[in-house]
Structure 1
Amino acid sequence: MSYDQIFLFVLLGIVFAMLVWGRVRYDLVAFAGLVIAVIGGVVPVQDAFAGFGHEAVIIIALVLIVSRAMTNAGAVELVARFVLSSTRSLPSHVGLISVVGAALSAIINNVAALVMLMSLDMEAARKAKRSVAQSLMPLSFATILGGMITLIGTPPNIVVAQFRDRALGEPFSMFDFSPVGLICAVVGIGFVTLVGWRLIPKGEARTMAGEGAGSVFVAEAGVKADSKSIGQTPADLYPLADSHDVTILGLVRRGKRLGGFAAGEEIRKSDHLVLEGDPASIEAFIGAAELNPPGADAHEGLTGKSLALIEAIVPRDARIVGRTATDLRLLYRRGVTLLGISRQGRRFRQRVRKLPIRAGDLVLLLGPESRVNDAAEWLGVLPLAERRHSVVQRSKALMTIGIFVAAVAAAVMGLVPLVVALAAVVILYALLNIVGPSEVYESVEWPVLVLLGSLIPLGLALEETGGTQLIAQGILSLTGTLPVWAILAILMMVTMTLSDFLNNVATALIAAPVGLNIARSLEVNPDAFLMGVAVAASCAFLTPIGHKNNTIIMGPGGYRFGDYWRMGLPLEILIIAVGVPAVLTFWPL
């Protein structure tokens, strides 16, 4: 072996060992490895940071922003409203939420799909009085499986597609992954629905930070002219309120609270419903019942633009102590609404905006994010960390989906490159206030981009120095005279095992050129081996560290490190069993 090959093998071995160890941030490890490679002379100085401008890096960043926009517009809520129910049996629930999770993962990032659905799954488990551990892991695995269906569903697909472009002159297209990915996803979801969840220990499920532990507020919401609640009674809305964990306390008409709960009073335009619940539940019910908070016109309606809800505690020396929102003219002066008040769980009959605030109260403020922060400082209240809630722009859900579908269609038809289509989508979302300026940057997982941008030059250097060819020859020498399908299966098993302990992006970057070299040595279709690598790099089911989705559910599900292989090992074996024939069927040798 040459000096360059030895240097790179030792360096990558140390980098991968550090990634598995996990005690140092993976982006720092990868970036340090890149710098050492440049100092060692194996990566040219002029190519040191070329990875950060790589198309795969840009696409992943844009997909994450699109995912945030889908959340802001309530696209997931639109689907979940018709799917989730606490009355369904556990297998039915697991099957439905897994299908929804896989479908979402095919069109947005699979991490974003899990985060969107996880709170809904936990809420369904709470209402059904069962352990969330039985459904969270199947949901996580389903979102990983769904990501394999399209180019943008998971980073390994993007990495493999861009590698094919460089190696063979043309990338995989948006739906080239669909035949094999769909088969694997269908079989995998069938397994987790019928068998997988039975293999999981129930565990001691814990609550996510900020979920389910929020304070209970009393808030008001106005009845707008076109609300579907007009003509109904508060009692008619009880089932809807119950499904959102909200209690309807009464009705305000012409500035006065009607007697009792006003359960039988017909709701009219400009009435206000008095609600009790946690902030997220109140916000969701306001959207579902087609209501508006006080001051909706100033915010262009609850769905007008990117808004934030924050919870804040009132200290003794706060400006608002002893005064009301009306006294301070909060909406007029600061463009922020006092949406709700929490006073140690006590109920009160005064209007929210006319209730004098006491030290120790929690207040719920609604408005544009910059204004909410300024208003909190002006009022002298202290925003609570982890108690910031996004406001869903439900009126823009269909428009958001339509823009994305049109962009993907344009890319599939070859009118524009995918990266340009996604960039145009992000620009439109920003112009339409579906994502705010700060959210554009907040939604990007910068550590993942640093990891990818740092490892791309290292992968290129390993390939150009003949390192990947050496690895391919080593695998071929060990497999001897085995048939090609068996060599493909072994490559997928090795890739899958690496992905269980390494970041799947790092795995794909190394395994893709190895697969290409094996295919060239065997003189067979390289696409079969590249597709096998893409499938295997995505399937990290044995540990909580192989895929971020598995890490995210570990705490809320109460899982231990050793719980994942119980369902993950048979699932990985099943994916190999169906994945190899599927690859060879759609990408024949």
Structure 2
Amino acid sequence: MGVDLGVVLALLLASVLLFILNKPRMDVVALLVILALPLSGILTLEETLSGFSDPSVLLIAALFVIGQGLVSTGIAYKFGDWIIQRSGNSETRLLILLMLTVAGLGAVMSSTGVVAIFIPIVLSIANRLGSSPARLLMPMSVAGLTSGMLTLVATAPNMVVHSELVRSGNDGFGFFSITPIGLAVLVLGIGYMLLTRRWLERKPAGNPAHPRQTLASLAARYRLTDRERRLRVLPDSPLANQPLNALALRSEYGINVIALERPQRLRTLLLVATGNNMVQAGDILLVDLASPAIALVGVYQQLGLQAGPLSDSYYNRHAHQLGLAEVALPPESALLGKTVQGLGFRSEYQLNVVGLRRQGQALDGLLIDERLKSSDTLLVAGTWKAINRLHGLSRDVLLLSVPAEVDEVAPTKRKAPYALLSLAVMIALMVSGVVPNLLAALIGCLLMGAFRCIDMDSAWRSIHWPSLLLIVGMLPFALALQKTGGIDLAVNGLLQLLGDAGPRALIAALFALTAVIGLFISNTATAVLMAPVAIATAQALGVSPMPFAITVAVAASAAFMTPVSSPVNTLVLAPGGYRFIDFVRIGVPLTLLVMLASTLLIPLLFPL
């Protein structure tokens, strides 16, 4: 092994360790790789930065926009309502429809986003059926992962492997090349989950609930009702003519201003609170107290405030302007460990944090000095427009649930048919091959914008830039390993170990190796590393590289074995009440079954 290869392997090992520790963030690690490779002299600066011009990177960015258009127009939520109507009171029918729907949507948009949308729907349905959410949420995560095996654009690893095939001078994947394998795995997964759901931890469900959350049910879920107040600003109030951010009402008095009602001649103007709102005498402050037991009579007098009547929740009264939403903090969120007071949610997202749930229980009041944990969910309040913007902020904040009232105020609700048309045009262009896949996706994005299914600001926010940077940073590793002989070393090792056993044994070994590596680093990074090995192995054997490339793509999506193997698994961990061992017990046998099915089917569908 040469010195250059040793340097590359050392950098690779260091990157993997940092990925496992998640310190620093994965996109920062990618930037460090981009810096280290040219400084080491192994790659030129142009070679290191070549990932920025890779068509797969731009294609993935375009697909984030397409997925956001489907969410913004309410299409994903409509599928949830359809499942509720069709499943009736049958858990078996619900499980099948749920897995089919999640897999179908995940074939054309982010599986993480799809699972996040369906978590509250599944919790509500399970509650209504008197069933355990644990019997449904893990099957849903299996379907979300399997969706990556259904189309070329379903997940980033597919496009990474496709790009490597093209770069090595071979034909790439077609839009539906991987679909036969994906459908077989989906059927296998549905049957497997129907048989093994009884192994999942079962907890008693609560009382029947609405199929979808409403403003009222969300407020009750987070115990907001007893903390709402209407406070009139008196003429002599020291708050008058002062901006909200200068008053420190939340930190000093436990008073969180959600909105201001400003009486006008013919109507009442509602101003959703931001730090720059100027308080005027006569305004009515709609506030949320830090605790329902807080005694503020003396504080009201000191601040020149007068408590007013509150016959109904102000969220119901102003439902067309003021909304609520439930959000989770992904494992890689930079907000973990911060206090509610230190989040800066109002300045960053124009939303107020009004509730906190931990381990399935709402805290008694909003403890602003409480440090956030990965299992926490937050309730935020603000305009529907600000809530909808959270769809594209999946790095630090993941939108879990919005109430049914959003359907009545969503600005792009009427554009759903045009969003479906844009998606259909993109798929038709990709399948026909009339234009390259990247151009087809860009055409779909432009159609989404032309039909006003999504605006430009939402499109930019929908792109998960850390994921793109991770791909760009990991792609040079494949080139570096190839230049320094690392790929040849891996291929020779595989051939010496299993070369006499035949191609099927090599396919099984590639699957196992890819799945094991995927336990420690992202499936995208895994695909970047394993795709060149798979293609070079096929070339050394003198056979078609397609079945070997398909194997890596399928194995990269088969991240069933642990709750940290994929963000999809991590999302359902807390809502399902799962333990780490639950994923091992269910996921390891499923992965072995998928490996066996892939070893048998891939050589048949993609001849060597």
Q: TM-score, normalised by structure 2?
A: 0.71
Match in the other structure for 2:118: 117
Q: Aligned pair 1:187/2:206, yes or no?
A: no
Match in the other structure for 1:163: 164
- Identical aligned residues as a percent: 27
* Contiguous gaps of at least 5 residues in structure 2: 222-249, 275-285, 293-306, 324-345, 355-378, 389-405
> What is the CA–CA distance in structure 2 between the aligned matches of 1:26 and 1:584, rounded to whole Å?
35
Match in the other structure for 2:538: 519
Match in the other structure for 2:243: none
SS at match of 1:481: helix
Q: Could you report, residue by residue, the CA deviation over 1:552-577 in whole angstroms, capped at 9, with x for unpaired residues?
A: 22222222322211110111011011
Change (3 A) 1:422 1:321: closer
Q: After the TM superposition, which residues 164-563 of structure 1 pair with which residues of structure 2 at under 5 Å, given as runs?
A: 164-192=165-193, 194-202=194-202, 243-244=211-212, 278=218, 320=260, 323=263, 327-330=267-270, 362-363=314-315, 364=318, 366=320, 384=354, 386-388=380-382, 389-390=387-388, 391=406, 392=410, 393-563=412-582
Q: Indicate conservation of the 8 Å contact 2:120/2:212, yes or no.
A: no
Q: CA RMSD in A?
A: 3.9
Change (3 A) 1:89 1:8: same
Q: Aligned pair 1:575/2:594, yes or no?
A: yes
- Which of 572, 583, 586 in structure 2 is aligned with 1:564? 583
Shift of 1:162: 0.9
> What is the CA–CA distance in structure 2 between the aligned matches of 1:450 and 1:163, rounded to whole Å?
18
Shift of 1:399: 1.8
Shift of 1:420: 1.2
Match in the other structure for 1:19: 19
> What is the CA–CA distance in structure 2 between the aligned matches of 1:119 and 1:515, rounded to whole Å?
40
Change (3 A) 1:318 1:165: closer
Q: Indicate conservation of the 8 Å contact 2:487/2:533, yes or no.
A: yes
> What is the CA–CA distance in structure 2 between the aligned matches of 1:316 and 1:569, rounded to whole Å?
47
- Counterpart residue identity of residue 158, structure 1: M
Q: Aligned pair 1:153/2:149, yes or no?
A: no
Match in the other structure for 2:129: 128
> What is the CA–CA distance in structure 1 between the aligned matches of 2:562 and 2:112, rounded to whole Å?
16
Change (3 A) 1:533 1:507: same
Q: Indicate conservation of the 8 Å contact 1:499/1:546, yes or no.
A: yes
> What is the CA–CA distance in structure 2 between the aligned matches of 1:155 and 1:15, rounded to whole Å?
19
| Number of residue pairs the alignment of both structures matches | 477
More off after superposition, 29-38 vs 60-69: 29-38
- Counterpart residue identity of residue 498, structure 2: T
Q: After the TM superposition, which residues 62-141 of structure 1 pair with which residues of structure 2 at under 5 Å, given as runs?
A: 62-84=62-84, 87-141=88-142
Q: Indicate conservation of the 8 Å contact 1:138/1:196, yes or no.
A: no
> What is the CA–CA distance in structure 1 between the aligned matches of 2:450 and 2:574, rounded to whole Å?
37
- Counterpart residue identity of residue 33, structure 1: V
Q: Indicate conservation of the 8 Å contact 2:561/2:587, yes or no.
A: yes
Shift of 1:489: 0.7
Q: Indicate conservation of the 8 Å contact 2:112/2:567, yes or no.
A: yes
Q: Could you report, residue by residue, the CA deviation over 1:22-44 in whole angstroms, capped at 9, with x for unpaired residues?
A: 34311212221221122111121
More off after superposition, 36-45 vs 15-24: 15-24
> What is the CA–CA distance in structure 1 between the aligned matches of 2:116 and 2:256, rounded to whole Å?
37
SS at match of 2:482: helix
Change (3 A) 1:55 1:280: farther
Shift of 1:509: 0.7
Match in the other structure for 1:229: none
Q: TM-score, normalised by structure 1?
A: 0.73
Shift of 1:204: 9.9
> What is the CA–CA distance in structure 2 between the aligned matches of 1:526 and 1:245, rounded to whole Å?
49
- Counterpart residue identity of residue 573, structure 1: L
> What is the CA–CA distance in structure 1 between the aligned matches of 2:452 and 2:322, rounded to whole Å?
11
Shift of 1:433: 2.8
Match in the other structure for 1:260: none
Shift of 1:7: 0.9
Q: Aligned pair 1:38/2:38, yes or no?
A: yes
Change (3 A) 1:277 1:480: closer
Change (3 A) 1:491 1:280: farther
Q: Indicate conservation of the 8 Å contact 2:262/2:269, yes or no.
A: no
Q: Could you report, residue by residue, the CA deviation over 1:57-107 in whole angstroms, capped at 9, with x for unpaired residues?
A: 111111111111101112122222221257533332222101111111112
Shift of 1:526: 1.0
